[in-house]
Amino acid sequence: MTELHWTERDGVSLHYKLSGSGRSLVLIHELSGTSDSWDEVLKRLGGGYRVLRADQRGAGLSEKVRQPFDVAAMAQDTLAAITAAGLEAPYTIAGIASGAAIAVELAAMLGGDVEQLLLCSPALKANPDRRDYLLQRGAKACREGMRSVIDVVFERSYPEDMIADRAVYDEYRSRFLAIDPFCYEQANAMLANVDATVAKSKLNCPVLVLAGTRDLLRPVDHVRADVAGIAHCDLRVVESGHIMILQAPEAVAGALRDLHQSRGAKA
């Protein structure tokens, strides 16, 4: 059973979900998603995990803020949810796309309390060639609504040839259209300026990185460059596009099981 909870940090209401029992697992969603983005992975993961997944500020059932935010604020929000939930260390943390940058920032903050880290299609450093595009995309969505940008977003993040389950795709598309446009603009600005270089240099836990063979936004070579400098890092290439938690959920669930088995956990 999934439990719905809320907490507050610095005057912002934050929604999070708890499910299962066992090893502590924190799941962090992508820029265009919500905590529901992890549903397909959890269906395939199996038992043995106490899972926390939070809606980032401005997303899902968390408060729709009217101020800018950055990766550090998102990491602090996730820590607030962990604390409110009473989730016990050590933690496995997993993040997808921009959520991977939040995961790295959070892991750097928590230090030895993090047992292992999974980064899926990670966006750890802003691509200068895409900065103007991200800022313009966010501004257009804020002016004209989410439907005005959905086609240009999905043609690269969730193209037709990556649709394995039409119902999953349709649900994700509907959630995208429900995003608060101002918060989407701020999230794009966050991604346009992301730089996890300092945080990733502080990581001491095992890190497994998944890169998609058909990721049009973060190709394998780009991911390899992004994670350079992370100690104890293993990169695995999987058959997927950018949003692999929906496009290749079994591969992501398998990676989480492998991480736990490598640490002597029963998955």
Rounded distance between C-alpha atoms, residue 266 and residue 58, angstroms: 36
Tell me which of 3.40.50.1000, 3.30.930.10, 3.40.50.1820, 3.40.50.1370 is the CATH number of domain 2-127+196-262: 3.40.50.1820
* Radius of gyration of the chain from its Cα atoms, rounded to whole angstroms: 17
Tell me the domain boundaries of the chain.
2-127+196-262
CA distances from 49 to 39, 46, 193, 243 (A): 14, 8, 33, 23
Average pLDDT over residues 96-113: 98
* pLDDT confidence tier of residue 260, bands split at 50, 70 and 90: confident
pLDDT tens digits along 56-83? 999 999 999 999 999 999 999 999 999 9
pLDDT tens digits along 144-154? 999 999 999 99
Listed residue (143, 142, 140, 137) closest to 155, CA to CA: 137
Q: How much is the mean pLDDT over the chain?
A: 97
Strand order from edge to edge, sheet including 207-212: 2-9, 12-19, 48-54, 22-28, 91-96, 114-120, 207-212, 233-238
pLDDT tens digits along 161-219? 999 999 999 999 999 999 999 999 999 999 999 999 999 999 999 999 999 999 999 99
* pLDDT confidence tier of residue 264, bands split at 50, 70 and 90: low
pLDDT value at 265 more than 60: no
Q: Which residue has the higher pLDDT, 34 or 267?
A: 34
In this predicted structure, what is the pLDDT of residue 266? 41
Contact criterion met (CB below 8 Å) for 100 and 218? no
